[in-house]
Structure 1
C-alpha cells in the first residue's frame, strides 16, 4: 500500500475513535436535544432510514474532519423509538 494511502487510512481510523467523543458532548447548554447532531464535523442529507432487528438506522452525509462539504463519509445513528438516537461509527 502506498504511504499516502496508509496515512489516509490512519487518519480515518483516528477520526472514528477520537478522544473528543465523550458521553457529555451531548449535554452542552445550547445543543439541540431533539434532532440528531454529530459530535464533530459536518452533516447533511439524512437518508437511508431503515428498520432492522428492532432498531431504526439513519444514514447521512458526514465530514468528520471539517465543517464544510468534502471528504464525505456515511454517518450512522440508531434508535429504538425514533426519539432517542445513538451515534454509531462511520458506516
Structure 2
C-alpha cells in the first residue's frame, strides 16, 4: 500500500516592522520569551528577519504575519502574509 506524502509544515511568525526603507523588503522584529538556562526567569529575546513585501504596503510599527519560503536573496527567505494591525491603530 502506498502511503500519502506529508506536506512540509510552513513556519509562520508574527512580529513588528522594524524598518521599511528598502524597496520590496521589510525587517521584522520577532520577540520570544524563553527561560534563563540557570535561573529560570523568563527573558525576552529579539530576533530580526528580512521579509519580502511585493507591494511596499508595510510601514514601520505595523504588526505583520510572515511565512518562510524559498530563499529570495542572500538574507531574505520570508514573505509577508498579511498586516495584522497597522501602526496608526496601535
Sort the TM-score into its range (normalised by shorter chain). Answer: 0.3 to 0.5
TM-score (norm 1): 0.33
Which fold has the larger relative contact order, with Cα–Cα distance below 8 Å and residues 6 or more apart in sequence? 2
If each structure's strand is expressed as a fraction of its own residues, which one has the higher value?
A: 2
Q: Which has the larger radius of gyration?
A: 2
If each structure's helix is expressed as a fraction of its own residues, which one has the higher value?
A: 1
TM-score (norm 2): 0.33
